[in-house]
Chain A
Amino acid sequence: MRVVGDFYAYLWPGVTMAEMQEYGNNSNTYLVANALPGNKHVLVDPGMVTNETKRNCLDRLVAGIQSDGLKIEDTGLIINTHAHPDHYGASEEIKRQSGAQVAISAGDDDFLKLMSGEMAEAIKQMGFDMPELNPDFYLSEGELRLGQDLVATIILTPGHSAGHIGVYWPDAKVFMGGDLIFSGSTGRVDIPGGSAQMLKESIERVALLDIEYIFTGHQYGSPGIIQGRDEVQRNFDIIRRSIFPYL
């Protein structure tokens, strides 16, 4: 689904309880079309290959991209906002199909290494898989230049995970926030690497940006895209008032 300009959204169903129950968990995926030479696309948070309900999330993403006249094979870069499997899980498979470069923050790659081996086995016993991720490069806070004239700002937004990043596109005023902030709520802070204080600070930093669209990581009972300056500010206000006191 095209949202604005070359920005596309592939939202995982979950706005209603019935959808959440039927579809299970997976992240929203965002695509910036033709951002790289050779009309290659940038994909942010590809989601999982399959999720806990045995749904093929990647097939659904591929079909969604296709319905917009684009192809997953034309992915040139995959950016992972953080190292949770529901966000990065399909990275290696899409890399295999497209030859895309894969990126994540160094902090969250360290977390992934920590979670490998025996820890991964323990997590698997609990019903979760930790798919492989072999990043080609790390993203730190700073400028990400794509092609000739597209610029994104990578912002370190720890809180949901220690090395969580957000991607801000100043020209389009789009902020892709992973699991930092949702419509009316925030990401969890009770997963290893999480921190309530850091999450609050990250949200306050992002609130200073000039944002028209927040592309969130999930539709947990609310729409995945927060649109319009006033709506974005209202969302920050609600979170400060209703969520921060309980974090």
Chain B
Amino acid sequence: MSGDGDKIKSALDIAMEKADRLGALSEGEKQRLKEEELEAAGEALAKRYLGGLPLGDVEAEVAGRDEEHRATIIRHLLAGLADTIDITQDGGSDRTLAAIEHFSGDREAVQGIRALFGEYLAAADGASHGNLDAMAEGKRKELESKGISGSAVKPATETSPEWLRVKEGLEAEYQDRLAAIKARWASGSP
């Protein structure tokens, strides 16, 4: 409820007041508000698609918007989808990448993400083999020097600060490379 003295404002009153205020806005402010609205619409579409909305329905909703606004909505839709891609997890689900390819037309970038994820897995595998084995051996030697040995002893390398540092470095490198690909859609010019 909104009150102004004794008068209770109706929804129409509130809408009219908003319209009056908009009339007082500069062109730049109006554009900013419109951009915010389109951003919210694009992000909401991304969320609904990820929640199960069919691709055709997403396309129909975009097509139902004013032609001049479609590109902006798609840009934010793509940003919303791209935000869910984590190179250290799955490099983006097939469903996510399919929608990105569909709306961006940027097949090359989508293939780039798939390739980057494969590259990350190989790098992580290589780093773990090289580093974890060496760290395990180093830890085993350290334990032996302290008089601790035997078949029951398994060095905890995957939780060691040394390995976590290596892993974080690797993840940061690949997240940066992923961010560079994502930036192609954010600019609106894939």
A positions within 8 Å CB-CB of B: 35-37, 40, 76-77, 101, 103, 106, 109, 134-148, 151, 153-154
- B153: interface (CB < 8 Å): yes
Determine the residue in chain A with the shortest Cβ distance to B157: A137
Once the chains bind, are B139 and A136 in contact (CB under 8 Å)?
Answer: yes
Once the chains bind, are A137 and B143 in contact (CB under 8 Å)?
Answer: yes
**Among B47-55, B111-119, B144-152, the stretch in contact with A:** B144-152
Q: How far is the CB of B95 from chain A (nearest CB, A)?
A: 27
Given A101-B146, A146-B147, A147-B147, CB of A139 within 8 Å of CB of B154: yes
- B126-140 vs A, CB cutoff 8 Å, 1 = contact: the mask equals 000000000000010
Q: How far is the CB of A232 from chain B (nearest CB, A)?
A: 23
Nearest first, the 5 closest Cβ-Cβ pairs linking A and B are: A142-B151, A142-B152, A154-B152, A145-B150, A143-B150
A-B contact count (CB 8 A): 67
Q: Which of B143, B147, B150, B154 has the most CB of A within 10 A?
A: B147
A-B contact pairs, 22 of them (CB 8 A): A37-B147, A40-B147, A76-B146, A77-B146, A101-B148, A103-B153, A106-B154, A106-B156, A109-B156, A135-B159, A136-B155, A137-B139, A138-B155, A139-B152, A139-B153, A140-B154, A143-B150, A143-B151, A144-B148, A144-B152, A145-B149, A153-B152
> With a CB–CB cut-off of 8 A, which chain A residues contact B139?
136-137
Once the chains bind, are A141 and B152 in contact (CB under 8 Å)?
Answer: yes
The contact of B155 among A76, A137, A144, A146, by CB within 8 Å, is A137
> With a CB–CB cut-off of 8 A, which chain A residues contact B149?
145
- What is the bound-complex CA distance between A40 and B145, given in angstroms? 13
> With a CB–CB cut-off of 8 A, which chain A residues contact B147?
35-37, 40, 76, 146-148
- What is the bound-complex CA distance between A2 and B151, given in angstroms? 29
- What is the bound-complex CA distance between A152 and B154, given in angstroms? 15
Q: How far is the CB of A39 from chain B (nearest CB, A)?
A: 11
Q: How far is the CB of B127 from chain A (nearest CB, A)?
A: 21
> With a CB–CB cut-off of 8 A, which chain A residues contact B146?
36-37, 40, 76-77, 101
- What is the bound-complex CA distance between A101 and B155, given in angstroms? 11
The contact of B150 among A35, A136, A144, by CB within 8 Å, is A144
Q: How far is the CB of B151 from chain A (nearest CB, A)?
A: 3
Once the chains bind, are A146 and B151 in contact (CB under 8 Å)?
Answer: no
> With a CB–CB cut-off of 8 A, which chain B residues contact A76?
146-148
Q: How far is the CB of B61 from chain A (nearest CB, A)?
A: 34
Q: How far is the CB of B160 from chain A (nearest CB, A)?
A: 8
> With a CB–CB cut-off of 8 A, which chain A residues contact B148?
36, 76-77, 101, 137, 144-146
Q: Which of B139, B148, B156 has the most CB of A within 10 A?
A: B148
> With a CB–CB cut-off of 8 A, which chain A residues contact B152?
139-144, 153-154
Q: How far is the CB of A124 from chain B (nearest CB, A)?
A: 22
Given A77-B148, A101-B146, A144-B148, CB of A109 within 8 Å of CB of B159: yes
Q: Which of B139, B143, B156 has the most CB of A within 10 A?
A: B156
- What is the bound-complex CA distance between A101 and B148, given in angstroms? 9
- What is the bound-complex CA distance between A147 and B143, given in angstroms? 11
- What is the bound-complex CA distance between A142 and B153, given in angstroms? 8
Once the chains bind, are A144 and B153 in contact (CB under 8 Å)?
Answer: yes
> With a CB–CB cut-off of 8 A, which chain B residues contact A101?
143, 146, 148
